[in-house]
Amino acid sequence: MRLESGRLGVVVEQSEASLLKPRVKVFMSARTGKTFAAQIIDLGSFADPDAIVKIETPTDWGMEEVDTLWAGSPA
């Protein structure tokens, strides 16, 4: 998914309070197309006021092994 900040990520945990406020593992800039060290952010937290703006598909970004992004802790 694409966030307002321009970061791309995958949902790693759904929020019980709101489907629009999951925990997301972000790993790439949609602006530059470059990856960065993955981190998990909580969209339900006031500390990170980012928001979902668009659903992206892995093929839009040339990612074939996107399933590995769901596994494990931030890279």
* Residue 31 DSSP SS3: coil
SS3 (DSSP) at 18:
coil
Show the DSSP H helices in the chain as ranges: 67-70
One-letter identity of residue 44:
G
Exposed, middle or buried, 24 (CB in 10 Å: 0-12/13-18/19+)? buried
* pLDDT per residue as tens digits for the range 14-48: 988 888 899 999 999 999 999 899 999 999 988 87
Question: Which tokens sit at 16?
Answer: 């019980």
Specify the higher pLDDT residue, 75 or 54. 54
**Contact between residue 69 and residue 75 where contact means Cβ atoms under 8 Å apart:** no
pLDDT-derived band at 60 (thresholds 50, 70, 90) equals confident
pTM of the prediction? 0.79
